[in-house]
Amino acid sequence: MSDILDQLDARRDEARLGGGERRIDAQHAKGKLTARERLELLLDPDSFEEFDMFVKHRSTDFGMDNKHFPGDGVVTGWGTINGRKTFVYAQDFTVFGGSLSKTHAQKICKVQEMAMKNGAPIIGLNDSGGARIQEGVEALAGYTDVFQNNILASGVVPQISVIMGPSAGGAVYSPALTDFIFMVRDSSYMFLTGPDVLKTVTNEVVTAEELGGAKTHTTKSSVADGAFDNDMEALAEIRRLFDFLPLNNRAGTPTRPFFDQHDRIDNSLNTLVPDNPNIPYDMKELVEKLADEGDFFEIQRDFAKNILCGFIRLEGQTVGVIANQPMVLAGCLDSDASRKAARHVRFCDAFEIPILTLVDVPGFLPGTSQEFGGVIKHGAKLLYAYGEATVPKVTVITRKAYGGAYCVMAPKHLRGDINYAWPTAQIAVMGAKGATEILHRKDLDDAEKTAAHIADYEEKFLSPFRAAELGYIDEVIQPHSTRRRVNRAFALLKDKQLQNPWKKHGNLPL
């Protein structure tokens, strides 16, 4: 009997060694942790339960029948993060470069299916040379099975991808189908076609880092939602994000104890908006001052900085935040900002996370590059996302809400539930100067008349009161009591019921 038990231990020890000491050393030398070390940091101590530790590939070509590593290059299972369950897979680069065989894919599919059945998120730690070259189409079939499960799981359980090494070719499409992608700086990259092929086909000379490193994907392509300096920081931040997320689309948002006064008055907010409407201020300051303990998890921090997206907690409950940022492009909406915010609104709505929108937007960014780039379609994405969302929606207009951008940024007319404005709000088709230049073109040579027209327009529209008279703003509130008002609004909306008309699915302007 003891022999059999010893055998199990020996088999487990062998599996835990992955591709062996030499390859583990090579992994460490690159500043990367192994798959198992990563899972240890991601999950609560002793919570990891592994599946399929002894699975082996079944290929025989190219001498593969003599090359076997138990587990076949991916560690799968489940565990907990601060006591809440999650399914996980971590590709093991020390085994065939973490490449994906048919059996490797089957292991991932198994945890994906368990995640959907059991209503828990799935976190994938990607570190792979792509399709197992020796397996040909079998590996491609395996990838596509994973993609299909990514698609089915979308909107059912949160899916998080962390890129911690190579991710090349069609392999990038599994992360791309998930809700969030995070990368590790200097050790991860994602591209469809690598630098060598690029050089041959297009004559472009570019490094892997330039083509698909963390900087590229967080600042230019927006493929990634964030980047971290090393494996340890990445895994700690994923734990932090996980705490904000519901386990599935029916579980409701997590609520946890908070140590912040629910009606905290913040007098500094009374002077956040400068007297001069052309002077910017940092909207992040408002987000942080509203949040429980100032904790804001920002998504896509380095892309389309004219809009802020992320998660905070209010009275312990997760809330998704979308906020114009006047510090960048005066807070204008453009194609990138619209896409970024639309995606966040849709994630929140899919997982029943209430949405707080903070508005200071002088309009859509004008210009040929925006028009040629399809700002009409991209802006429509945000409009569609807000209008489709049935979760509680609370909006606070701090300053400008002009033109089409007013219509897009969660107004009453897109089924906003509680819409507040600060006394500094200006809700109008456009600014007073622009309006005068159009309405009173013939008087423009007369400075006195022009000044009078501007003053007239300002008095009529550049305040929240015209909108408040019409009921488009539920209440004009004091900036210093915004946290209390917003908290009360979300408390009121806790049992909100709203359903869209039945349809197979809508046709989001993609």
Q: Which residues bind ligand HXC (CB under 6 A)?
A: 23, 96-97, 99, 129-133, 140, 143-144, 166, 168-171
Q: Which of 322, 369, 342 is nearest to 222 (CA)?
A: 342
Q: Please give the Cα distance from 190 to 171 (Å, whole number).
A: 9
With tokens 């073109």, the residue in question is: 441
Please, which residue, 126 or 248, has the CB nearer to ligand HXC? Answer: 126
Please, which residue, 175 or 411, has the CB nearer to ligand HXC? Answer: 175
Q: How far is the CB of 172 from ligand HXC (least distance, A)?
A: 9
Is residue 35 classed as helix, strand or coil in its secondary structure?
A: helix
* Catalytic choice (105, 139, 405, 425): 405
Cβ atoms of 277 and 426 closer than 8 Å: yes
Cβ atoms of 226 and 299 closer than 8 Å: yes
Q: How far is the CB of 194 from ligand HXC (least distance, A)?
A: 7
Q: Please give the Cα distance from 482 to 417 (Å, whole number).
A: 16
User: Is 170 known to be catalytic?
Assistant: yes
CA angle 320/287/311 to nearest 5° reads 25
Please, which residue, 99 or 398, has the CB nearer to ligand HXC? Answer: 99
Q: How far is the CB of 33 from ligand HXC (least distance, A)?
A: 15
Q: How far is the CB of 187 from ligand HXC (least distance, A)?
A: 10
DSSP category for residue 426: E
* Catalytic choice (155, 194, 387, 404): 404
Half-sphere CA count of 265, side-chain side, radius 13 A: 4
User: Is 105 known to be catalytic?
Assistant: no
Residue 301: phi and psi, rounded to 5, are: -60, -35
Cβ atoms of 232 and 239 closer than 8 Å: no
Q: Are strands 418-421 and 475-476 parallel, antiparallel or unpaired?
A: parallel
Please, which residue, 144 or 478, has the CB nearer to ligand HXC? Answer: 144
With tokens 């002009």, the residue in question is: 402
For residue 454, how far is the Cα from the chain centroid?
41
Q: Please give the Cα distance from 297 to 288 (Å, whole number).
A: 10
Q: How far is the CB of 23 from ligand HXC (least distance, A)?
A: 6
Please, which residue, 163 or 321, has the CB nearer to ligand HXC? Answer: 163
User: Is 169 known to be catalytic?
Assistant: yes
Amino acid sitting at position 182? F
Cβ atoms of 102 and 66 closer than 8 Å: no
* Catalytic choice (20, 31, 170, 294): 170
Report how far apart, in Å, the C-alpha atoms of 321 and of each of 131, 179, 375 are. 38, 16, 22
Please, which residue, 170 or 423, has the CB nearer to ligand HXC? Answer: 170
For residue 367, how far is the Cα from the chain centroid?
28
Q: How far is the CB of 158 from ligand HXC (least distance, A)?
A: 23
Name every residue whose Cβ is closer than 8 Å to that of residue 117 and which is 6 or more positions away in sequence.
Answer: none
* Catalytic choice (97, 169, 310, 331): 169
Q: Please give the Cα distance from 245 to 299 (Å, whole number).
A: 13
User: Is 404 known to be catalytic?
Assistant: yes
Q: How far is the CB of 207 from ligand HXC (least distance, A)?
A: 12
Please, which residue, 163 or 304, has the CB nearer to ligand HXC? Answer: 163
Annotated catalytic residues are 169-170, 404-405
